[in-house]
Amino acid sequence: MSARLAWRRSPLPQLSLAAAAIFLLTASWQLASAQQLSDDQLTQVKARLAQGATHSWEIGTRAQALTEYDTPSYSVLNSTSLPPPKSSAPSSLDEVLSIAHSVVTSRNSTGPQPLIGGTQNGEAAADPASIGVAVLLANWTGAGSSDGLDYAGAAQDQLDYLLESVPRSSDGAISHRVENVQLWSDFVYMVPPFLAYYGVLNQNQSLLQAAYDQCRLYRQALVDDDAGGMWRHITGNSTDNGHWTTGNGWAAAGMLRVLGTIQNSQYSKKMKQQSKDLAGWVSEIHTGIYPHLQTTGLFKNYADDAASFEDGSGTALIASTVYRLALLAGVHTHLPLAEQSRASLSAPNSTSSSSSSSSASSSSQTSTAPISTATAPTGSLAHFTSDGWLQPVVDPYNVGVQGEHSPEGQAFVVEMYAAWRDWAALGSPGKNGAAAQAMHMGVVTVAVSLCIVVLLL
């Protein structure tokens, strides 16, 4: 009663609540209709990726991003059934096959070993396996018959190395590093998708099961229930308990590739429960991390650490997994937020737009594009340098600090756009549902606010 009287005395809070609801609703519609990167801009992003990818996991991630973007029907994330045709590959796969060629041609011995670096490898044990899918694809499409390289042998040596030489935790998780047992969230993108693809091409269901089991064991070791389901970065004989955004992305994207491999394979019916678990574990990461999305549309480098800087690369990777989860498992919950991230990362540079707005309006009168846009496609974007590097980004070689360039971040932008395009091509399933839901909630908020005002005035 007294509360009601208090409300009655000051209707202003209700009015401002209603105004805020209307404002938020309008703002979300503006975001939904925001711009996207052009083909030219994405070509420039890919050029920087090609230039920057030199470490094993960058090379593997580049091969995966190019497959998803240029030849979706050969990606395990596409609904095309597996295995792909044995006939020679389409020319759109040339770059991916040339990555496999240059890696396999540098090998100078046989026997269990990673695809890059030999057993003296100072890098992680798991990272070179990220190139494994491209090598398997080269073998499958008969590249060896024209260049004489033993792609199947190289893939098998990488597999044997992982299964026989790399140490494991007591419950069987393969270590990310070879010198002692360390479980890094990054592993989930590097190794399980390779095991799964190997299993499908070689009719070996136990390898698909192993891919699933590694995801399960890594989740068990790294998931943080106190952080809503986000994953910690590293455990074992090295520790990073922080909720690294890119690490959560590596885990979600890796599990989605295993899910896609199972679901599009001859084993899909036998492995329904595994598919269900994987989709649930990706959702769990989304549910944990999205409450920490900044109003800028980006995540912090450590998602729940306010002192951390914003990171475009992890943001792009996480967004890509939202579209993929919608396509593979029909989960639509976080699509509006992924759209917000994609729009923000694709936004024009508003700092320079005040000076260029007059030229924009004059160019619309003459219908000619400004010359600067033609020569430097990403030159006028807020989150890319004029030559196409995403920013701001975490330093991929020192994950606690902000870096200048991130080759993996370039790949994540390509993966985000491949995922968004595939989702849009199917009519953006869930977008209207999600938007309608948001609109519905907005309308209800406004209506309820107005009713309260009317009742109480």
Ligand X SMILES: *[C@@H]1O[C@H](CO)[C@@H](O)[C@H](O)[C@H]1NC(C)=O
Binding site for ligand X (CB under 6 A): 72-73, 78-80, 86, 106, 108, 117-118, 136, 139-140, 152, 155-156, 159, 163, 179-180, 201-202, 204, 206-207, 237, 327, 349, 351-352, 382, 422, 425-426
Three-state DSSP class for residue 311: strand
CB of 435 to ligand X, least distance (A): 21
For residue 345, the minimal CB distance to ligand X (Å) is: 12
CB of 17 to ligand X, least distance (A): 36
Find the shortest distance in angstroms from Cβ 11 to ligand X: 43
Structure tokens at 220: 């068990």
Please, what is the minimum distance in Å from the beta carbon of residue 353 to ligand X?
A: 8
Sign of CA pseudo-dihedral 307, 337, 332, 428: negative
| H helical segments located in 78-117 | 94-105
E-assigned strands of 44-108? none
**Alpha carbon of 95 to those of 66, 100, 139, 146, 416: distances in Å?**
8, 9, 15, 16, 19
How far apart CA 119 and CA 125 sit, in angstroms, is 9
Q: Report how far residue 52's alpha carbon sits from residue 46's, in angstroms, rounded to the nearest whole number.
A: 10
By C-beta, is 18 or 234 nearer to ligand X?
A: 234
Tell me whether residue 17 or residue 221 sits nearer to ligand X (CB atom).
Answer: 221
CB count within 10 Å of CB 73 equals: 13
Is residue 232 a contact partner of residue 242, using CB atoms and an 8 Å limit? yes
Looking up tokens 């190139």 gives 131
User: Prior bond to 392 cis, omega within 30?
Assistant: yes
Closest contact distance (angstroms) between CB of 386 and ligand X is 6
- Comparing CB distances to ligand X, the nearer of 288 and 312 is 312
> Least CB distance from residue 422 to ligand X, whole Å?
3
- Residue closer to ligand X by CB (options 431, 442) is 431
Specify the residue, 76 or 446, whose C-beta has the smaller distance to ligand X: 76
How many whole angstroms separate alpha carbon 250 and alpha carbon 184? 10
Sort residue 89 into left (φ over 0), alpha (ψ -120 to 50) or beta: beta
Whole-number Å distance between alpha carbons of 415 and 390: 13
By residue count, the chain amounts to 457
| Shortest distance, position 429 Cβ to ligand X, whole Å | 10
**Nearer Cβ to ligand X, position 13 or 142?**
142
For ligand X, the closer CB: 108 or 273:
108
The nearer residue to ligand X, 11 or 153, going by C-beta atoms, is: 153
